[in-house]
Amino acid sequence: MPTINPVRLKFMQAIIIFMMLQVLVSAQDQIMCIQTEREALLQFKAALVDDYGMLSSWTTSDCCQWQGIRCSNLTGHVLMLDLHRDVNEEQVRYISGEIHKSLMELQQLNYLNLSCNSFQRKGIPEFLGSLSNLRYLDLSYSQFGGKIPTQFGSLSHLKYLNLAGNSLKGSIPRQLGNLSQLQHLDLWGNQLEGNILSQIGNLSQLQHLDLSVNRFEGNIPSQIGNPSQLQHLDLSYNSFEGSIPSQLGNLSNLQKLYLGGSHYDDDGGALKIDDGDHWLSNLISLTHLSLLSISNLNTSHSYPQMIAKLPKLRELSLIDCSLSDQFILSVRLSKFNFSSSLSILDLSSNNFTSSMILQWLSNVTFNLVELDLSYNLLEGSTLNHFGRVMNSLEHLDLSYNIFKGEDLKSLANICTLHSLYMPANNLTEDLPSILHNLSSGCVRHSLQDLDLTYNQITGSLPDISVFSSLKTLALDMNQLSGNIPEGLRLPLHLKSLSIQSNSLEGGIPKSLGNACALRSLDMSDNSLSEEFPMIIHHLSGCARFSLQELNLEGNQINGTFPDLSVFSALKRLDLSENQLNGKIPERNKLPSLLESLSIESNSLEGGIPKSFGNACALRSLYMSNNSLSEEFPMIIHHLSGCARYSLEQLYLGMNQINGTLPDLSIFSSLRELYLYGNKLKGEISKDIKFPPQLKRLDMQSNSLKGVLTDYHFANMSNLDLLELSDNSLLALAFSQNWVPPFQLSHIGLRSCKLGPVFPKWLETQNQIWDIDISNAGIAGMVPKWFWANLAFREWISMNISYNNLHGIIPNFPIKNLYTSIILGSNQFDDPIPPFLRGSVFLDLSKNKFSDSLSFLCVNDTVENLYQLDLSNNHFSGKIPDCWIHFKSLSYLDLSHNNFSGRIPTSMGSLLHLQALLLRNNNLTDEIPFSLRSCTNLVMLDIAENRLSGLIPAWIGSELQELQFLSLGRNNFHGSLPLKICYLSKIQLLDLSLNSMSGQIPKCIKNFTSMTQKTSSRDYQGHSYFVKLNYSSSPQPYDLNALLMWKGSEQIFKNNGLLLLKIIDLSSNHFSGEIPLEIENLFGLVSLNLSRNNLIGIIPSKIGKLTSLESLDLSRNQLVGSIAPSLTQIYGLGVLDLSHNYLTGKIPTSTQLQSFNASSYEDNLDLCGPPLEKLCIDKGLAQEPNVEVPEDEYSLFSREFYMSMTFGFVISFWVVFGSILFKRSWRHAYFKFLKNLSYNIYVKVAVFANKISKVHD
């Protein structure tokens, strides 16, 4: 065979390489993205909302160069579309909107990642199932709703599918069993339900399967053991039941297994193990094992042994498995030793009580790095042997146990320990003692993180420098008190110190300012009272170079706001809820790196200095709830330095800022602007614009006027919240066919001018979950599209009350999880559509509805309706007796209708009922016995009906949560049952205008709530709440009552109602004396006992009721004098003691004399102001006392007395002598005396008889 010249060979190779390079270069010059695919991507972009410019590069001609796009180098087809949000980025960026069907044009797409975005519960597009070349699909954590599309079963090449962290419902489509190439399936954290399909077993290539945190139920299918390559299996936190299938033992490659645990609204514990099965011993590759809430694990003999023998096990969690000390005692140590590879052990939420668990662990494990024994009942010290044996332990969690401070001494010799967590134990000793116990061993050199929060530790902060490696110390929620010592020394490496929610006083010592490594200092919610400039001075040591976060919220820090520029590293400062005052000086500067400043809820005055506008890193400025009074245009001018480019959040609500609204468009990054509750006024200019990036705009409760038009909102594509309520002179007038550039989730336009026609632009808003357009001057019919939009929203709160809307509400299917619908004060007619039964809070009051039966008595069960208000309509006839269907009803108002007949007995099935209002109907008969089951009642108002019979004793014995009981204006009779005094929480007792008799019981002293004085400060928050099935936090509801107050009927709501403590027993037949025990009801605000048959005196110490504002005892038979102690009631505004038998002088005080004379009229013998009748001492008129100088008129005086004596003697003998010597005169005189004595006797006898009747 001829040989080739080596030189020639090299030359030929060079030519071939050159030609290949030419081909590649020319290919690079020619291969660009395909035009149709570029257009498809632009359509896709147009349907998205890109608030953060993630698609800003999508403008050039070559789409292959766009961010998130990768194309084929050979064909130019788009192969990859990756727009996921990087969760590690400090600045949150995401896309929202809709996924356009133009993506179907990208048929060569094999990689699609849209994870960590916000698609606001929209369904996953079904057309994605037509992208047949997809290998990788990640839609996780993007707020998708709806169901998993069955079309995904057609993606035959798919290897990776991640739909975790969404709100997907329904079951897993059986079509997913066709994905024979699938290796990774993650459905974690959705709301999927039903059984796991056996088709999962067909996924032979599956390596990773996560179905945790869903609502799957039934048995775990045995086919789950078929995918032999499975390495990761997580089925935890569902609602499975039955035994764990033994087929799991076939998964010989399994490395991570997580089973058990219950869904958040289940009781859990239904999954069990069969002690005879040995499948677990086959999983020899297992490195991670988690068994949650396996209730019979504590009685198993074989499973603990199998777990211990797993040769590669590194992490073991046996959480909430009812393991106890007995479990430890039952395990034979000779046959039980964990693998030496085990480094992480979690035995939290079990029933261990003795610290012998630590001794046991020291005998069966040797290389533990992390140990979690939280949420047990552990107490007592452990042996020092534990510390010596656990020579690898770095992290120990003993939180939520019962350890005491002295027990920490036994942990002091764990020389490798880095982290010790002991929140919520029984640490009650003083902090110096606790830290002394812990520092007695070598742990003081190794410990880096120490958490002692949520205990009852007392004392003050001691020297902690002995913990030489300590980096974080948390002492929140304890009982530390006193001043922090000046000589306090901190560890050299301490980075974070948190002492929030204690009772520390004084200020911050200089020693904290000398902690050169300190980055975070949190002393919020204490009682620090030093002036802020002094605090800053003390912190201005080397800490000024390291401190990044300073939180002093919720103290009593006073003084002015100082210069902070020396803190070169400070990024976040919170001084809210303190007592800072005065103006912020113009010269004071902020730290150059400061990003967030919160000085809300202080007493700062004036305006915002220019120096704040020069803080170029400032993102968030919170200054709400102060006394700022500068004009808003000036504030904006001062903030218009470099801060206008960085500022994202500006909170200025609840101040006294005035002036007009200026142009705000220069704030290019501003996303949240809160100006609510100020004094902004004047006409909004037609030319102003808002910031283009604005997402939240709140200007409610001002005095703005003018018209907002399309122009003002033209560039606001990011707007999500618009709150302009309570600007009664502000109108919104948009073009008829205007399509807003934004999609709002919150619309608040209460008391603005939107009418007279229903706003058409609302039709374009598809993301609304909260809308209030009440009292907005809208008239006519509500468009059908508005109801449809409402019905298909998953979460909606809607208020269109106080308009002039009419017509019939159409019926729609509804599956809302949370719906508040307020349609009150309109003109809506029958029928009430059944879909409204799916609401949570429903207000149909003050309309023209008349048919309640068809709405209330549909046969299906109503699970989620908690509040129903049908008051002030035209309902008549009997109240429907079908309340057994309403499982959750807590508030029911049927008042002010024309219902008749009896109160239905089925109302007794409303076991969660807190408020029942049936006032002002024509109800008859007795109060039904079934209501005694409604033991959660807070308000029962059945006044103004025709109810009769006795007041049941069970109202007092069974309904002990009652605060408001109104039974007035009925026909009740008989005496007041003594058990009524069991109502210790009662604040309003109204039995007026009935036919009650008997005596007022003395046990009213047991009305505990009325014995306590209250003020508005006692009710700062909302007071009435209902616990919802689907929510961990209670939701507030409004409670109101119609009361006779100071002579007129008034409505009181919520906390205003709580301030009233009233007893009204007027217009009955009560007799006997007013019980003296009434003097102990110190909190009583109104007492009305008028128009009864009460006798006796007014209690002498009634003046102890210093909270009284209204007292009416008129039209009884009270005797005696007015109690002088009444003068001590300074707030008395209404007093009526008229029409009794009171006597004597009206006590003198500014208050009692200020009332009209009619308050005292028609009594037996009252006198003194304000009555015209003057008082006379002992029945004699008091003579004027005129002093006359005796020396000047002494002679005249002697002659006067001599003349008087002489005249008396002469006169006496003239009269007496005539009677003595003339017989006819003598008879006439004695007859006159006899008649006079008889008349006097009769008058005295009549008067005595009247007095005796009064006392009887």
The answer to whether position 992 is within a domain reads: yes
- Mean pLDDT, range 275-295, rounded to an integer: 89
The structure tokens 């929203």 sit at 793
Angle at 225 between CA 223 and CA 227, to 5 degrees: 95
Q: What is the largest CA-CA distance in the chain?
A: 197
Alpha carbon separation from 312 to 339, 342, 347, 361, 395 (Å, rounded): 7, 8, 19, 18, 21
Strand order from edge to edge, sheet including 779-781: 779-781, 804-808, 827-829
Give 1068's contacts (C-beta < 8 A, 6+ positions apart). 991, 992, 993, 994, 995, 996, 997, 1091, 1092
Same domain assignment for residues 1079 and 1145: yes
Q: The domain that contains 1157 carries what CATH number?
A: 3.80.10.10
Other Cβ atoms closer than 10 A to 34: 20
Alpha carbon separation from 1014 to 256, 1060, 1061, 1107, 1130 (Å, rounded): 59, 9, 9, 9, 16
Three-state SS sequence of 147-173: ECCHHHHHCCCCCEEECCCCCCECCCC
543, 569 in Cβ contact below 8 A?
no
Confidence band for 92, pLDDT divided at 50, 70 and 90: confident
Same domain assignment for residues 1226 and 1107: no
664, 687 in Cβ contact below 8 A?
no
Other Cβ atoms closer than 10 A to 1007: 26
- Mean pLDDT, range 346-350, rounded to an integer: 95
451, 480 in Cβ contact below 8 A?
no
DSSP 8-state code for residue 136:
E
The answer to whether position 114 is within a domain reads: no
pLDDT of 445 higher than 80? yes
Length of the chain measured in residues: 1256
Confidence band for 1118, pLDDT divided at 50, 70 and 90: very high
Of 207, 176, 175, 186, which is closest to residue 141 (Cα–Cα)? 186
Q: What are phi and psi of 349, to 5 degrees?
A: 60, 45
Q: What is the pLDDT of residue 1185?
A: 36
Other Cβ atoms closer than 10 A to 483: 15
The alpha carbon dihedral of 1221, 1223, 1225, 1228 has a sign of positive
Helix axes 1190-1221, 1223-1255, angle to 10 degrees: 110
983-1042 tens-digit pLDDT? 999 999 999 999 999 999 999 999 999 988 876 555 544 466 666 655 555 666 666 666
CB neighbour class for 504 (10 Å; exposed up to 12, middle 13-18, buried from 19)? buried
In the listed set 1161, 1179, 1197, which residue is the last one of a domain according to the structure?
1179
Rounded-to-integer distance, Cα 293 and Cα 267, Å:
10
Give 836's contacts (C-beta < 8 A, 6+ positions apart). 809, 814, 821, 842, 844, 855
Same domain assignment for residues 1125 and 1171: yes
Confidence band for 1256, pLDDT divided at 50, 70 and 90: very low
435, 458 in Cβ contact below 8 A?
no
CB neighbour class for 1253 (10 Å; exposed up to 12, middle 13-18, buried from 19)? exposed
Q: What is the pLDDT of residue 604?
A: 96
The structure tokens 């107050």 sit at 1045
Rounded-to-integer distance, Cα 1105 and Cα 798, Å:
44
The answer to whether position 1077 is within a domain reads: yes
Same domain assignment for residues 974 and 1118: yes
The answer to whether position 500 is within a domain reads: no
The torsion defined by the Cα of 456, 458, 464 and 470, in degrees rounded to 10, comes to 10
Rounded-to-integer distance, Cα 673 and Cα 651, Å:
6
pLDDT of 517 higher than 60? yes
- Mean pLDDT, range 98-115, rounded to an integer: 94
214-247 tens-digit pLDDT? 999 999 999 999 999 999 999 999 999 988 999 9
Both tokens of residue 318? Answer: 């046996």
Rounded-to-integer distance, Cα 531 and Cα 1036, Å:
38
Alpha carbon separation from 582 to 562, 585, 628, 1210 (Å, rounded): 11, 9, 10, 92
Q: Residue 107 carries which side chain, given as an amino acid letter?
A: Q
Rounded-to-integer distance, Cα 557 and Cα 534, Å:
10
pLDDT of 775 higher than 90? yes
Rounded-to-integer distance, Cα 246 and Cα 767, Å:
47
Beta-bridged to residue 256, according to DSSP, are 232, 288
In the listed set 1179, 1207, 1224, which residue is the last one of a domain according to the structure?
1179
Mean of per-residue pLDDT scores for the chain: 86
Rounded-to-integer distance, Cα 512 and Cα 484, Å:
10
Rounded-to-integer distance, Cα 179 and Cα 861, Å:
40
Same domain assignment for residues 1073 and 970: yes
Confidence band for 571, pLDDT divided at 50, 70 and 90: very high
Same domain assignment for residues 1168 and 1098: yes
Whether omega before 756 lies within 30 degrees of 0, making that bond cis, reads yes
Q: What are phi and psi of 47, to 5 degrees?
A: -85, -10
Same domain assignment for residues 1174 and 1242: no
Same domain assignment for residues 965 and 1112: yes
The answer to whether position 1082 is within a domain reads: yes
- Mean pLDDT, range 651-680, rounded to an integer: 95
Same domain assignment for residues 969 and 1073: yes
297-308 tens-digit pLDDT? 888 878 888 888
Same domain assignment for residues 989 and 1095: yes
The answer to whether position 1138 is within a domain reads: yes
In the listed set 1179, 1204, 1229, which residue is the last one of a domain according to the structure?
1179
Total structural domains within the chain:
2
Other Cβ atoms closer than 10 A to 378: 24
Other Cβ atoms closer than 10 A to 737: 7
- pTM (global) more than 0.75: yes
Same domain assignment for residues 981 and 1107: yes
The answer to whether position 575 is within a domain reads: no
List the single range of 791-795, 804-808, 826-830, 912-916 with lowest mean pLDDT. 791-795
3-state secondary structure of 1101: coil
Q: Are strands 69-71 and 78-82 parallel, antiparallel or unpaired?
A: antiparallel
Other Cβ atoms closer than 10 A to 668: 12
Structural domain containing residue 1094: 951-1014+1061-1179
Query: Does 1143 or 766 have the greater pLDDT score?
Result: 1143
Please give the share of the chain, as a percent, with pLDDT higher than 90.
66
Same domain assignment for residues 997 and 1088: yes
157-176 tens-digit pLDDT? 999 999 999 999 999 999 99
DSSP string for 204-253: TT--EEE--SSEEEEPPPGGGG--TT--EEE--SBEE-EEPPGGGGG-TT
The answer to whether position 92 is within a domain reads: no
